[in-house]
Structure 1
Amino acid sequence: MTMTIELEVRGMSCAHCVRAVTQAIRERDPGAAVTVDLAAGKVRAETTLPRAAVAAAVAGEGYEVAD
């Protein structure tokens, strides 16, 4: 079942950040649709992964995920 997960993420500032976050999520769910809004500091993923797994993927790239 696909869910929409939104995370507030600190530390993203460029296209490299967008690629890193997107790839980290898609490594765990290749079918995920990922949108990154740098200005707002938001990551939105339509995925089968639970929120904790998406947050862990983003944090694993060195970004801070707000609770």
Structure 2
Amino acid sequence: MELRIENMTCGGCARSVTKAIQSVDPDAKIETNPDARTVKIETTASQSALQQILEKAGYPATAS
């Protein structure tokens, strides 16, 4: 799945996003792209679960 995260603008943001996703699925494969403000995720977690945890972390995400 791919999500768009408008306020992920730097490497620090990308690390925070990665940590948030890993708190839901520690085995997720995560590819962040702060320049494009997108994250690609291979996970068993639902999209809604990921969006909820990212919202809590301060990085609201939308499907891209």
Normalised by the length of structure 2, the TM-score is: 0.87
What CA distance in whole angstroms lies between the structure 2 residues aligned with 1:35 and 1:61? Answer: 18
Unaligned runs of 5+ in 1: none
What CA distance in whole angstroms lies between the structure 1 residues aligned with 2:13 and 2:36? Answer: 14
Residue 30 (structure 1) aligned with residue 26 (structure 2): yes
Aligned to 2:4: 8
Give, in angstroms, the shift of residue 25 of structure 1. 0.6
Q: Which one-letter code corresponds to 2:23 in the other structure?
A: E
Sequence identity, in percent? Answer: 33
Give, in angstroms, the shift of residue 64 of structure 1. 2.6
Aligned to 1:59: 55
Normalised by the length of structure 1, the TM-score is: 0.83
SS at match of 1:10: coil
SS at match of 1:7: strand
User: Aligned pairs, how many?
Assistant: 63
Give, in angstroms, the shift of residue 66 of structure 1. 2.6
Moved over 2 A (4+): none
Unaligned runs of 5+ in 2: none
What CA distance in whole angstroms lies between the structure 2 residues aligned with 1:43 and 1:27? Answer: 16
SS at match of 2:5: strand
